Amino acid sequence: MTRKIAILGATGSIGRSTLDLIEAAPDRFEVVALTAASNVDQLAEDAKRTGAKLAVIADEALLPQLRQGLTGTNIHAAAGSVALAEAAAGEADLVMAAIVGCAGLEPVMAAVHAGKTVALANKEALVTAGALMLDAAARSGATLLPVDSEHNAIFQCLAGQSGDGVARLILTASGGPFRSSTAEEMARVTPAQAVAHPNWAMGAKISVDSATMMNKGLELIEAHYLFGVPAERIDIVVHPQSIVHSLVEFADGSMLAQLGPSDMRVPIAHVLTWPERMATQVDRLDLLAAGRLDFEAPDEVRFPAMRLAREALGAGGAAPVVLNAANEVAVAAFLDGAIHFPDIAALVERALRAMHEPAPRSIDEVIVLDAKARAVAARMVAEQGA
């Protein structure tokens, strides 16, 4: 039996890795829907090549161009947020949620409400709406499968166990490109240096998040929601080789780790056929070539983003939404050359201190709060640049 797949964010790094696996196993999968923000040509080409039934472009102004790209096919072209939600809630069995940022929240929630199996790469959606998403999944019967390599590792190590038997979760972090840089060196880094990750090839936003280590902060919040473990029992350990993707410590003192190559196709393959395993053509991890595994304590002074995320999770309510929104704005400003690298975390901290909003009670309230926090952060960027 083939599994019907929709990919939200098909043109991105995770989206392309997902297509690569799916197209190598055509007897196992059927692509039903693909979406993208603005890359019409790539979207049309992918839809034609995979025989998708629906292609959705987020930017409505690009719909005529998408229609043109799909002329002579039976592929339905659509645009805008309603169409994105329809792609997520349509006939797919499994929805790969690979949009970057809080922009992916509404389509992810559409998939959750429709009771889908949701392969979640879009960590910002869970960070901003964790409790609401879990409630909705419990009501609809949706299954959330973690794609993020650390959370996928923990999911594999837990193998269904939860409760008192689980003592700690240990998230590994590569430390990013500036692991051994001084604060003075980090003050001068360029966007090109920040997106050049030592171990992983990823989209620009998550690459910068890895460089500030906000990525690990977001992953701490993500782990808390996915596995129901309080933040005090989630550790972050720097492991520069990115071979151990994360670990679980159990009550009896056993520790289980998941190891593998630094290739997102491994965790993606795991969720695509879960609970079965599919074969992949990924280069195998060579333990003898790797030789050693190093572990270091994270430095929250040079990388304050981890502390900010832990504080935001502790504060709860609006704080994780503000943390995420301010970070998205700050990262975009850094990539545009408007602010310096250390300003990213500083700006997030200022936004967290400036905003005292009530806890959002619905996804609509999350979206309103996200917009408000973006406006506050954008104003801070403008003042900084002035």
Q: Which residues bind Mg ion (CB under 5 A)?
A: 148-150
Q: Which of residues 230-269 bind ligand NAD (CB under 6 A)?
A: 264
* Binding of residue 79 to ligand NAD (CB under 6 A): no
CA–CA distance, 179 with 175 (Å, rounded to integer): 5
Q: Where are the beta strands (DSSP E) in 110-174?
A: 117-120, 143-146, 166-173
Comparing CA positions, the residue from 124, 307, 297, 308 lying closest to residue 206 is 124
From 35-43, 61-69, 126-134, 284-292, give the range in contact with ligand NAD by CB under 6 A.
35-43
Shortest separation between residue 31's beta carbon and Mg ion, angstroms: 25
Encoded amino acid at 155, one letter: F
| Residue 100 binds to ligand NAD (criterion: CB under 6 A) | yes
- Residue of the chain from 18, 122, 246, 280 that contacts ligand NAD (CB under 6 A): 122
Residue 246 phi/psi, 5-degree rounding, is 165, 170
Beta strands in 147-302 (DSSP E): 166-173, 234-238, 244-250, 255-259
Report which DSSP code applies to 315: H
Peptide bond into 275 cis (omega under 30): yes
Among 37, 131, 315, 335, binds ligand NAD (CB under 6 A): 37
Mark residues 190-229: x for contact with ligand NAD by CB under 6 A, - for none: ----------x-xx-xx-----------------------
Told to check if 324 binds ligand NAD by CB under 6 A, we report no
Rounded-to-integer distance, Cα 114 and Cα 40, Å:
27
From the CB of residue 198, how many other CB atoms can be counted at a distance below 10 Å?
A: 15
Is residue 177 close enough to count as binding ligand NAD by CB under 6 A?
A: no
Stretch that binds ligand NAD, among 92-100, 166-174, 352-360, 370-378 (CB under 6 A): 92-100
User: Residue 219 CB, nearest distance to Mg ion (Å)?
Assistant: 5
- In 3D, which of 9, 5, 346, 7 has the Cα closest to residue 203? 9
How far apart are CB 103 and ligand NAD at their closest, in Å? 3
Between CA 7 and CA 47 the distance in angstroms is: 11
Closest approach, Cβ 179 to ligand NAD, in A, equals 18
Does 13 contact ligand NAD by CB under 6 A?
A: yes
- Smallest separation, CB 293 to Mg ion (Å): 18
Is 331 a residue that touches ligand NAD (CB under 6 A)?
no
The Cβ-side half-sphere exposure at 203, using a 13 Å CA radius, reads: 20
CA of residue 318 relative to chain centroid, distance: 20
Are 169 and 154 in contact by the 8 Å Cβ rule? The answer is: yes
Least distance to Mg ion, CB of residue 253, Å: 26
Binding site for ligand NAD (CB under 6 A): 9-15, 36-37, 39, 58, 98-100, 103, 121-124, 148, 200, 202-203, 205-206, 264
